[in-house]
Structure 1
């Protein structure tokens, strides 16, 4: 298992980006979250099997129709500790507001 923190730049708000991210994460069995930032970027934390996380990163870079991703910053993070955030365990991926 691996965990990644992601910042996505470009035209990524108001185009269904977070909802598509959750759809992909659910299909890939990933845990974590995604949210809009006040500066126009989208932020996400993704945890799961390495191949699934890499697939998710490629999908985040592509974005949904109508988006234009100009940058993807990815940083390694330690795995969530049991009990740290129960929604990030067991393949649940949330949209934060």
Structure 2
């Protein structure tokens, strides 16, 4: 199992990124969460099989159609979320 914490930068707010992340993560059977941050980035945690988390990290570079991703910063975390949720902006 792998848990990854990500910060996604670029045009990632106002383009449906959080809803897209949730759908992609659920389709891969991942636990975790996603939220907007006031600095204009999107933050998320993904937990699941290492290959599924890796696949999720790969697709985060594309995002939904209107997004323009500049960078996906990844760090490992000990967080072990169950289910997937969209959280409030911080």
Asked if structure 2 preserves the Cα contact closer than 8 Å seen for 1:32 and 1:44, the reply is: yes
SS at match of 1:45: strand
Which residue of the partner structure matches residue 61 of structure 1?
A: 61
SS at match of 1:58: helix
From 79, 86, 89, the equivalent of 1:95 is 86
- Partner Cα distance (1:13, 1:59) in 2: 16
Structure 1 alignment gaps of length 5 or more: 81-87
- Partner Cα distance (2:58, 2:2) in 1: 16
SS at match of 2:61: helix
Under a length normalisation based on structure 1, what TM-score does the superposition of the two structures give?
Answer: 0.88
Asked if structure 2 preserves the Cα contact closer than 8 Å seen for 1:34 and 1:94, the reply is: yes
Which is greater in Rg?
A: 1
Asked if structure 2 preserves the Cα contact closer than 8 Å seen for 1:2 and 1:79, the reply is: no
Greater than 6 Å deviation, 4+ residue runs = none
Cα distance, 1:79 vs structure 2: 4.6
Instruction: For residues 49-78 of structure 1, give each alpha carbon's deviation from its aligned partner in whole angstroms, at most 9, with x where no partner exists.
Output: 001001100111111001000011000112
Which residue of the partner structure matches residue 40 of structure 1?
A: 40
Under a length normalisation based on structure 2, what TM-score does the superposition of the two structures give?
Answer: 0.94
